[in-house]
Amino acid sequence: MSESFRTGTLAIVGQPNVGKSTLLNQLVGQKISITSNKPQTTRHRITGILTTAACQYIFLDTPGFQTRHAGALNRTLNRSVTQALAEVDVVICVVEAGRCGAADRAIFKLLPRKHPVLLAINKVDRLEDKSQLLPFMAQMAQEYPFAEIFPVSAMHGTGTDQVLKVAATYLPEAPAIFGEDEITDRSERFLAAELLREKLFRNLGEELPYSLTVEIERFEQEGDFRRIFAAIIVDKAAHKAMVIGKGGEKLKTVSSAARSSMEQLFGGKVYLETWVKVKSGWADDERALKSLGYQ
């Protein structure tokens, strides 16, 4: 590694569903954070690590900042965002190309003035009129004193190399904290729960995913083979039936997709057993949230 090696933390922030997790996965080069087209998919602060010859980037993918919904869960998620902003060296704020509303401006007000803030204008590939991009970038420059503004497509990787190149210049000179081959500080147990929750988000209706979570009750490993036993926790008995589906088909579909993703990520065979438990009011119970890993 070079003598002027740089290491630092970078928080990826923005309102729900602007593509923060997709951007993290693209920057790290591997799927670390779960994604779906529904807001609030990310509920935990996920760390993704990228080490190059000259730099180690430690990315924090934060939950989308909630300005519309109250409740203990969303208060916990918002605390996670504000804490991350206070701790990092660089902030990457993400907005959707052509869209800047009250929810985005609420996040701009939280951005720290003591850290450089880079703006990633995401989903530029979806912008129908590309001539709108430069005026939108100029508008964003008026909204907040961003250190740099980048048009990107996190889905396709467009512009992400430039984000890495410029972000490195703002990181402090310091030795690496993690090993060169490490891509996250999260355990396989945690990642298994997140992958199962992702499949639930993708396969269930609009509202149901927000009232469920996943708890890994047992995680056993023998060589490259893993046995994972996971409880899907829902708020109401009626939700249990919806997750299981007619003849158990919905749960079977979700579990099969999750097992496949786990095998791909872990590089070995996985035996996955899932079931559904009712725990009323878990999302509004601070003690329950803490026991489920929401800090």
Q: What percent of the chain has pLDDT over 90?
A: 43
3-state secondary structure 178-217: CCCCCCECCCHHHHHHHHHHHHHHHHCCCCHHHHEEEEEE
pLDDT tens for each residue of 48-77: 899 999 999 999 877 555 445 455 545 555
100 φ/ψ angles, rounded to the nearest 5 degrees: -145, 105
**Contacts of residue 101, Cβ cutoff 8 Å, sequence gap at least 6:** none
Estimate the share of the chain in helix, then strand, then coil, as percent rounded to the nearest 5: 40, 25, 35
* Residue among 271, 274, 273 at smallest CA distance from 227: 271
- pLDDT tens figures, 161-205: 999 999 999 999 999 998 888 888 778 888 898 889 888 888 876
pTM beyond cutoff 0.75: no
Domains belonging to the chain, first-starting first, are 6-169 (3.40.50.300), 188-291 (3.30.300.20)
Q: Which residue has the tokens 């129908």?
A: 128
CA gap 119, 115 in Å, rounded: 13
- The predicted pLDDT at position 266 comes to 87
Closest among 163, 267, 158 to 223, alpha carbons compared: 267
